[in-house]
Amino acid sequence: MNYTVLAASKATGINSSRLRTWERRYGIPRPNRSNTGRRLYDEDDLLLIRRMMALVNAGLPASEAAKSALSSIEVEIDEIPEQKEDDSYAKIIVTAAINYDESTVVDEIRAYRQKFGWARTFDEFLMPGLKMIGSRWSSGELKLGSEHFISAIIRREILLGVAEVHSPDPEANSVIIACPQEEQHDLGSTALWLLLKQAGLRVIYLGADVPTIDLIESTKQLMPSAVILIATAPNSLPTLGLATRGLLAERIKAKIFVGGAALSYENDNESFPGVRLPPTIESAADVLIKNLG
């Protein structure tokens, strides 16, 4: 069956001007033409469009998504775990923060980790808890002291976890994890550190607020297989751009990966280099381990 551009747009939910842009820029898809030059899409074309859309929705920039879609190297979107609807664990974090109750929250975190492992503890317990802390703080319901108190405990628990993992093989691939200049939110990046260390990678963790010039210097000295930059606040997008472009300009061989909630604010016109990581700690770690492990 053939579809006109309007019918293809209706069938895939992608508007016709975006379809034409994808065709012009990436060859996705290249529909047949009628005698009068009108585009005629077939089922394979629609499949390619849907695959491209899924990859873009998973957080890949259009150029990367196009490459993957065309070569059928699919990022395993199905593997991204569903976020739990249940917010009871997030509420444990918030209640502990309000009451400055260290022992209850530490017991709960350790019990969850014991039962389900770190990856699920991050995505099902700690990250939803931190998100709820953020929204209660911004609405004025929760004091800054409570947020600082709970962030420090969560950070400490993650770092204790990092220390418990055996040192990696000195020959293993090394990766740098850093937050761009001015980005103070480092909990997501410490979580990633733990999962990558558990997978046997040699992680060189530079932490929050790393000036671009220092990031480049460390990368030149250490020559890691990858540089992973994590940004949480949208205000860090400009420095994330400076860091990624700076690394490219220096012709550094390391692969560049970027992740973090800030990417959901990325503007198509101000795009920067680097492979986008999918939006949970576990799925981001999986992509990195498959690429570098």
For position 274 contacting ligand B12 by CB under 6 A, the verdict is no
Q: What is the DSSP annotation of 66-124? A: HHHHHHT----GGGSPPPPS--HHHHHHHHHHHHT-HHHHHHHHHHHHHHH-HHHIIII
Which x/- pattern over 118-137 shows residues binding ligand B12 (rule: CB under 6 A)? Answer: ---------x--xx-xxx--
User: Using the rule CB under 6 A, which residue among 35, 264, 267, 269 binds ligand B12?
Assistant: 264
- Taking CB under 6 A as the criterion, the residue among 276, 282, 285, 286 binding ligand B12 is 276
Whole-number minimum distance, CB 259 to ligand B12, in Å? 5
Spatial distance between the Cα atoms of 84 and 70, rounded to a whole number of angstroms: 33
φ/ψ of residue 170, rounded to 5: -60, -20
| Residues 6 or more apart whose Cβ sits within 8 Å of residue 97 | 105, 133, 142, 146, 147, 149, 150
Mutual angle of helices 16-26 and 43-57, in 10-degree steps: 90
Which pair of tokens denotes residue 67? Answer: 């490459």
C-alpha closest to that of 129 among 161, 83, 163, 164: 83
* Shortest distance (Å) from residue 61 CB to ligand B12: 10
For ligand B12, the closer of residues 5 and 94 by Cβ is 94
Among 29, 31, 59, 161, binds ligand B12 (CB under 6 A): 59
Q: How far is CA 43 from CA 13, 24, 29, 46, 231, in A?
A: 15, 20, 11, 5, 39
Among 279, 282, 287, 288, binds ligand B12 (CB under 6 A): 279
106 lies in the binding site for ligand B12 (CB under 6 A)? no
Shortest CB 183 distance to ligand B12, Å: 5
State which residue, 46 or 127, has the beta carbon closest to ligand B12: 127
188 binding ligand B12? (CB under 6 A): yes
Contacts of 136 (CB under 8 A, 6+ apart): 94, 142
By the rule CB under 6 A, 230 interacts with ligand B12 = yes
> How far apart are CB 134 and ligand B12 at their closest, in Å?
2
Site for ligand B12 in 64-93 (CB under 6 A): none
Q: Tell whether residue 159 is a contact of ligand B12 (CB under 6 A).
A: no
Which positions lie near ligand B12, rule CB under 6 A? Answer: 59, 127, 130-131, 133-135, 138, 147, 151, 155, 182-188, 230, 232-234, 259-261, 263-264, 276-281, 284
